A and B are shown apart, each in its own frame.
Chain A
Amino acid sequence: MNDRMRKLLGFLAPLLLLPGLALAAGEPEVDHGITSWMLTSTALVLLMVPGLAMFYGGLVRTKNVLGTMMHSFASMAIVGLLWAVCGYALSFGPSVLGGWVGWSPGLFLLKGIDTTIMSTKVPEYVFAMFQGKFAIITPALIAGAFAERVKFRGYCVFLVLWILLVYCPLCHWVWASDGFLFNMGAKGAIDFAGGTVVHISSGITALVAALYLGSRRGYPKTTMNPSNLVMTLTGAGLLWVGWFGFNAGSSVSSGLDTARALTVTQVAAASGAVAWMIIEGLHHRKATSLGLSSGILAGLVAITPAAGVVQVDGAIALGFIASFMSYFAIMLKGKLGYDDSLDVFGIHGISGMTGALALTFFIRPAWMAEARAAAGGVWTVGQQFGVQASAVLITVAYAAAVSIVLLVLIQKTVGFKLDKASEMSGMDHSLHREQGYGLLNPN
């Protein structure tokens, strides 16, 4: 596949030197209100990545804090570059290779969009950058599953291959106007802001990676205490704030849809957090700060696909159900014994699937009426549930299958799992020759 890709790139490269073929006639004008909100959203979604670095960094042991935060920051660097070079073209170009990915030579290096204003009245540059932030955060989420035990070089190769072969195709299927999931059923599979593309794909890849790479040394016998829950809470807070850009920005407008998405995002996050506190309170007689953060994330993940179609009652329900499901999944993980270190599958995978499926029962009536009209009279909740389930299953199957191939490939070539001595001395020292904390308690 890689060779084919390279040949394709080599063949197309000369075409790119031609001047951009902009469609000058009848282009929409820039709407400053929408554009400024989309610029803000783009910045908010990027803010989630350092937020994630803090969230994950606080959860690992002191000797791995920098190595773990580097996973998020490396994604900002590597995927940030890759997206502008060819990621956007592969995701949002017109379908090629039977709809597997998109491609248009004009989108290589974003050359062809220098003057493009989209029909949403936003310069295409803004849309491309906004989408790029989603690509950055998705593989960074996966890194929590194999925290504290992978080589940096192997991780960097994984970032590149996973974006090109898993993220870009999924993104194309779900969000490009000619993607097949975008057009499935009466009004398409509902994935407002990335339930399947971001959370289910990263969650399932996380599970596959945790199973393939194996546990950390000493897990689960040795206790592996979080180095800094203060940082984890701060990170969770930044994620919540950034999520307004993630969801409300995904309306690519600045109006009613934006307001709806923002409202249900706030409500679902709060509802997830309350639910987790109640569950922990009943189970352990204590509400923990890590539990509260997990509840926030579970609620946010579950509302992500649903933010365009549910109302406040649905948001409350989704937050509650997601927290309950994720709590149960994490307890089950303890029983099964696999080491998904920072519960990427437990939170993102499980809450993502919960949100994508359960949203069907809370869709606002107006949306269903439109779907009925589009389908020519009849469109039931059951039919939409079928579409949602297909989108989830396709995402799970595709992400799992390609990811396992990538993991084996990288492990056999550059190496992915860290050797025993380096793992024991910690990633900060063995991989980066630095240390995160000064004179704090050792571990």
Chain B
Amino acid sequence: MKLITAIIQPDKLDAVREALIAAEITRITISRVSGHGRQAEEDLYRGQIVAPNLIPKARLDIACNDEFVKITCDAIIRAARHGEEGRVGDGKIFVTALEQCIRIRTGESGGKAI
């Protein structure tokens, strides 16, 4: 089992969600986070260009069995990239080993609980 954590641009959230649903990955958790990488986004406030030090991002957490890792990551990468080339700030995907998964309702655990 793996835990996939993806940090993406908020404006690509709908595209990524739809791509995941199309790939039949439907169990996801989304949160709004802020942070910064190499991107310095410019917002316009009253005509002044300011570079905020923390940039809003969307975070997706998806737990899946090993055979779904590639499908999930491919779907996210395809949908979250801006244009063909992509651009700085499109985000990152972290894949980590997942030790245990328990469904609260039934108490079942392991791969079948995902």
Please measure, in the bound complex, the distance between the C-alpha atom of A435 and the C-alpha atom of B11, giving whole angstroms.
Answer: 11
For residue A434, CB closer than 8 A to chain B, the reply is yes
Kindly state the separation between the CA atoms of A435 and B42 in the bound complex, as whole angstroms: 12
Chain B residues with CB under 8 Å of A426's CB are 11
Most buried by B among A421, A435, A442: A442
**Given A439-B34, A442-B30, is A425 in contact with B12 using a C-beta cutoff of 8 Å?**
yes
Separation of A64 and B109 alpha carbons in the complex (Å): 40
Are B32 and A424 closer than 8 Å at their CB atoms?
Answer: no
A416-440 interface (Cβ within 8 A of B): 421, 424-426, 429-430, 433-435, 439-440
CA–CA, A429 and B34, complex, Å: 16
Interface string of B15-38 (1 = CB under 8 A from A): 100000000000000111010000
Interface of A is mostly: loop
**What 1/0 flags go to B51-75 for Cβ under 8 Å of A?**
0000010100000000000000000
Question: How distant is B61 from chain A, measured CB to nearest CB, in Å?
Answer: 13
| CB of B110, distance to nearest CB on chain A (Å) | 30
Whether B32 pairs with A439 at a CB distance below 8 angstroms is: yes
Which of these, B10, B32, B45, contacts A429 with CB under 8 Å? B10
B10 A442 Cβ-Cβ under 8 A: yes
The CA-CA distance from A429 to B44 in the complex, in Å, is: 11
Known A439-B32, A440-B32, A442-B31: A430·B43 in contact at CB below 8 Å: no
**Residues of chain B at interface, number, CB under 8 A:** 15
Contacts of B11 in A (CB 8 A): 63, 424-426, 429-430
B114 to chain A, nearest CB (A): 23
A437 to chain B, nearest CB (A): 9
Docked complex Cα distance between A425 and B10 (Å): 7
Q: Is the beta-carbon distance between A424 and B45 smaller than 8 angstroms?
A: no
Interface size on A, residues (CB 8 A): 14
Shortest Cβ distance from residue B4 to the other chain A in the assembled complex, whole angstroms: 18
If A424-B14, A429-B10 touch, whether A442 touches B43 (CB-CB below 8 Å) is no
A424 touching B43, Cβ below 8 Å:
no
Task: Give chain B residues whose Cβ lies under 8 Å from the Cβ of A223.
Answer: none
What residue in chain A is nearest B44 (Cβ atoms)? A433
- Is the C-beta of A2 less than 8 angstroms from some C-beta in chain B? no
Query: Which residues of chain B are near A413, meaning CB under 8 Å?
Result: none
* Bound Cα distance from A387 to B32, whole angstroms: 57
Cβ-defined partner of B44 (8 Å) among A434, A439, A440, A442 = A434
Question: B43's contact among A425, A433, A439, A441, by CB below 8 Å, is which?
Answer: A433
Knowing A429-B10, A442-B32, the reply to whether A435 touches B44 (Cβ < 8 A) is no
Nearest opposing residue in chain B for A61, CB measure = B14
Q: Which 6 pairs show the lowest CB-CB distances between chains A and B?
A: A425-B11, A424-B14, A442-B32, A429-B11, A433-B44, A442-B58
A positions within 8 Å CB-CB of B = 63, 421, 424-426, 429-430, 433-435, 439-442
Additional A-B contacts beyond A429-B11, A435-B43 (10; CB < 8 A):
A63-B10, A429-B10, A430-B11, A433-B43, A434-B44, A439-B56, A442-B10, A442-B31, A442-B32, A442-B58
25 sample A-B contacts, Cβ–Cβ < 8 Å, listed by A number: A63-B11, A421-B15, A424-B11, A424-B14, A425-B10, A425-B14, A429-B10, A429-B11, A433-B43, A433-B44, A434-B43, A434-B44, A434-B45, A435-B43, A435-B56, A439-B32, A439-B56, A440-B32, A441-B32, A442-B10, A442-B13, A442-B30, A442-B31, A442-B32, A442-B58
